[in-house]
Amino acid sequence: DAGVIQSPRHEVTEMGQEVTLRCKPISGHDYLFWYRQTMMRGLELLIYFNNNVPIDDSGMPEDRFSAKMPNASFSTLKIQPSEPRDSAVYFCASSQDRVKAFFGQGTRLTVV
């Protein structure tokens, strides 16, 4: 398996624009997580899904953030409208057991 695949690897966008981050989890993993990593706050869990259903979205910072998982092999994290403080590295991870997560390479988002 190729592991968790995220795209794009880097994204630079202007404030106010919509940003969509994409993730393909490892086949057979029932859990999918979206994390955000910044120097200020470290690694934060934004939301996680089990069998394509959102279970805990308490980490989603604002209504500007939304995540979907239309099927077992694809998920998106959308920010609309984006702001400079959203600049961070966003990681997608998947797991068979909710705790032992396998991370993608991340998307480095810069909002100018």
Interface with another protein (CB under 8 A), residue from 12, 15, 51, 55: 55
Cα–Cα distance for residue pair 79/85, rounded to 1 Å: 12
Contacts of 3 (CB under 8 A, 6+ apart): 26, 102, 104
Interface with another protein (CB under 8 A), residue from 57, 59, 64, 76: 59
Interacting span for another protein (CB under 8 A) from 11-19, 22-30, 37-45, 73-81: 37-45
Residue 105 touches another protein, criterion: CB under 8 A:
yes
Contacts of 84 (CB under 8 A, 6+ apart): 15, 111, 112
Interface with another protein (CB under 8 A), residue from 19, 21, 104, 111: 104
Cα–Cα distance for residue pair 31/50, rounded to 1 Å: 5
The binding site for another protein (CB under 8 A) comprises: 4, 38-43, 45, 48, 55-56, 59, 91, 93, 98-106
